[in-house]
Structure 1
Amino acid sequence: MLKLNAELKKQNEKLKQDKLNAEQEAEATVSSVKREYEAKGRELDRRIGEAAKQSASLKSERQSISEDIEQRATAKYLDQKKELDRKFKAQTASYDSFLLGLLLYGVLTTVFTAVRSEAFKSDFKTFFMVIWQFIVNAFQLLLKGGQWVSQLGDKIPQPVVATIAHYLLLIVFVGGIAIGVGFLIFLGASKVFEFYTEDYADTMSLAVFLISLAVSVYFAEPIRAVIPINLLLLLILVHIVYVLIGHL
């Protein structure tokens, strides 16, 4: 019995020793695996850091390349734009010079022909004579109205005061109406001029005027035979009709 107990005790001690050895071996294995994975983790972190640095470097390099490409493209675009603007301005100046030469030639030819046209010269003189006669008649009518108004001053008993009042009323009436009418004419003319320069001061309007002038000059006699109208007045009316049609 004692021998059996000794044997069991011996086996128990052996089991404890085996258990301790197993635990120590397991701890050693775990420590080894832990150290291995820690090393792998550090290596992975190192590689991630290097990859991040490379990514940042690539991103910076890509940004630099993009900025360089954009700058070069912008510079090339500006150079091409300047070149095209220069060519366009040169072509426009050449076209305008050619067109101006043609217009001047047309104007001079038409004016010389108009000077030689008896019908057009007669209508030209008549047109401005009628305008001058209208101005003279209007001034005479205004003067008569002023004289009629100035008679109110003659009713004053004192001769000196009556004379002063007479001419003062005449000057105020004639001058006031003349200034008022002149201001209205100036205001209307400025409005017409502003309207015309904003919408019709172009090559087309000039071409229409020159064509109308040329037709009026070269075909003065046939036009007068069909329509008994002043040629200069007809020219103005045609241009007014052109403006009204363009305004619709």
Structure 2
Amino acid sequence: MIGEYQNKIRCLTQQRDYARTHQKIVEIPVEKPVLYEKCESCDRTAYQNEKAKYGTQKERLAGQYKAKTVMFQTTLFLLAWYSLTTTLFQAVQSDVFLSDCKSFFHDAASFLQTFIGWTIDAGQSVAQISTKIPNPFIAGMVYWLFLILVVGICVAGTGILAILIEIKVIELYKKNCWDVITLLMILTSTAVIIYFGEAIKKALSVNLLLLFVLSQGVYLGIRCYLKNRDYEEKSVNMIFYDKNGR
């Protein structure tokens, strides 16, 4: 049995040696990408012509896009101007809307007058400290000094607060509502309040101009909410993709 296995090993060894000595080498062509070497003496006229053609087409398309953009903006401006003009003309002819406008500004002026009166009363109350000064001349100076100081601080603080609120509202409008949708909403709400002012006054006992301001505030709040929610969803999606390695 050992001899049989030795014969098999000898046969296999001979086959291996025969395969090694009788191999055929075949060359297979393989394409290998190499870096492009610029030839200074070659003719690149076709490339230059195509590049010039591309530049010309790009400039022509950019000009067409700019012209269409200007045309769209001009049309939008004319539409807004026409809508606003006709709405204002209708507002002038609306007795109910004019009456509410006068009432709104009259109430605003009355509130401002009342606020100034409260401020003067507060200043006079604080200035009463001067009555404890025995010298009448110094007491008078201290009285007017405290009165001017208190009134000035209250009026200036209120004015600065109103300006800051106005700036904040303008920033929110530019950030969230500065688009065509807002323009259409303003024109539509103005037209509805003016054209259907009498019906609104019968259903709701509210000032039409105040109703317009409140509707703009509600619209601004809704747009800010939707904008923030969309931003939060995008942030969550980005975090989810980052965690999953996508």
Query: Is the pair's TM-score, using the shorter chain for normalization, greater than 0.5?
Result: yes
**C-alpha displacement of 1:129:** 1.0
Cα distance change of structure 1 residues 227 and 93 upon mapping to structure 2, 3 Å threshold? same
Aligned residues: 189
Could you list the runs of 5+ residues in structure 2 that have no partner in the other structure? 1-36, 226-246
- In the TM superposition, 1:1-248 aligns within 5 A as 60=39, 64-65=42-43, 68-248=45-225
Q: Residue 9 of structure 1 aligns with which residue?
A: none
Return the alpha-carbon distance in structure 2 between the equivalents of residues 190 and 107 of structure 1. 24
2:181 partner amino acid: M
SS at match of 2:39: helix
Return the alpha-carbon distance in structure 2 between the equivalents of residues 64 and 177 of structure 1. 82
Could you list the runs of 5+ residues in structure 1 that have no partner in the other structure? 1-57
RMSD: 1.9
Cα distance change of structure 1 residues 208 and 173 upon mapping to structure 2, 3 Å threshold? same
Asked if the contact 2:83–2:187 (Cα under 8 Å) also holds between the matched residues in 1, the reply is yes
**C-alpha displacement of 1:76:** 2.2
**C-alpha displacement of 1:182:** 1.3
Larger radius of gyration: 1
Residues 29-55 of structure 1 show CA distances to partners (whole Å, capped at 9, x for unaligned) of: xxxxxxxxxxxxxxxxxxxxxxxxxxx
Residues 91-146 of structure 1 show CA distances to partners (whole Å, capped at 9, x for unaligned) of: 12222222221211111110010001011001111111111111110000000000
**C-alpha displacement of 1:197:** 2.0
Cα distance change of structure 1 residues 85 and 148 upon mapping to structure 2, 3 Å threshold? same
2:39 partner amino acid: S
Cα distance change of structure 1 residues 153 and 85 upon mapping to structure 2, 3 Å threshold? same
Return the alpha-carbon distance in structure 1 between the equivalents of residues 221 and 50 of structure 2. 50
**C-alpha displacement of 1:68:** 4.6
* Same amino acid, percent of matched pairs: 37
Return the alpha-carbon distance in structure 1 between the equivalents of residues 156 and 107 of structure 2. 22
**C-alpha displacement of 1:202:** 2.2
Asked if the contact 2:127–2:144 (Cα under 8 Å) also holds between the matched residues in 1, the reply is yes
